[in-house]
A and B are shown apart, each in its own frame.
Chain A
Amino acid sequence: MEWLRSRSAYLQAAPLSLIFLLFFVLPIAMVVVVSFFDYQAYQILIPDFVLFNYQDVFSSEVTYRTYFITFRFCLMVWAITLVLGFAIAYFLAFHIRTITMQIVLFLLCTIPFWTSIVIRMIAWIPLLGRNGLVNNALVASGFTDAPVEWLLYSEFAVVIGYVHLYTLFMIVPIFNSMMRIDRSLLEAATDAGASGWQTTWNVIVPLCKPGIAIGSIFVVAMVMGDFVTVNVLGGGQVASVGKAIAAELSYLQFPPAAANSMVLLGVVILLIMLLMRFADIRKEL
Chain B
Amino acid sequence: MVHGRRSRSFYALSILFGAFVLFLYGPMVTVILLAFQGPDGGLTFPMNGASLHWFADIFQPQSIGDIWGSFDRSIKLGMMVMLATVVVSFLTGLAYRKKFRGSSVLFYVVIASLIMPSIVVSLGIGSMFELLGIERSWWSSAFGAHLTWTLPFGLLIMFAVFNRFDPAYEEAARDLGASGWQTIRHVVLPIVAPSLIGVALFGFTLSYDEIARTSQSVGALNTLPMELQAMQTNVTTPVIYALGAYTTALSLVVIGVSLVLVLAFRWRQKRFGSDADKGMV
Q: Which residues of A contact B (CB under 8 A)?
A: 5-6, 8-13, 15-17, 19-20, 22-31, 34, 44-45, 84, 87-88, 90-92, 94-95, 97, 105, 108-109, 111-112, 114-127, 129, 131-133, 136, 164, 167, 183, 186-187, 190, 196, 199, 217-218, 221, 224-228, 231-232, 242, 245-246, 249, 254, 257-258, 261, 264-265, 268, 272, 285
Contact = CB atoms under 8 A, between A and B. Distances in A.
Contacts of A261: 117, 119-120, 123
Contact of B110 (A16, A136, A217, A227): A16
Contact of A217 (B6, B99, B115): B115
B159 A20 contact: no
B225 A5 contact: no
Interface of B: 1-2, 6-7, 9-10, 13-14, 16-17, 20-21, 23-28, 30-31, 34, 43-45, 84, 87-89, 91-92, 94-96, 98-100, 102-103, 106, 109-113, 115-121, 123-128, 130-131, 144-145, 147-148, 151, 155-156, 159, 180, 205, 208-209, 211-212, 215-216, 224-225, 228-229, 232, 240, 243-244, 247-248, 251-252, 254-255
Given A13-B92, A23-B147, A125-B43, 15 more contacts: A6-B98, A8-B98, A9-B99, A13-B102, A16-B155, A20-B106, A24-B112, A30-B127, A87-B13, A95-B10, A115-B244, A116-B247, A119-B228, A196-B7, A221-B115
Counting chain B CB atoms within 10 Å of each CB, the highest count among A9, A24, A187, A254 belongs to A24
A29 B127 CA distance: 10
A138 to B, nearest CB: 14
Nearest to B7: A196
Please give me the 4 A-B residue pairs with the lowest Cβ-Cβ distance, nearest first. A225-B117, A27-B124, A123-B27, A23-B144
A45 B188 CA distance: 49
A246 B119 contact: yes
B79 to A, nearest CB: 16
A116 B225 contact: yes
Among the interface residues A13, A117, A136, A272, which one has the most CB atoms of the partner chain B within 10 A?
A: A13
Nearest to B232: A122
Contacts of A129: 43-44
A264 B45 contact: no
B89 to A, nearest CB: 8
Chain B interface main SS type: helix
**Considering residues A12, A17, A117, A133, which has the most beta carbons from chain B within 10 angstroms of its beta carbon?**
A12
Nearest to A196: B9
A9 B100 contact: yes
Contact of B156 (A24, A115, A125, A285): A285
B21 A218 contact: no
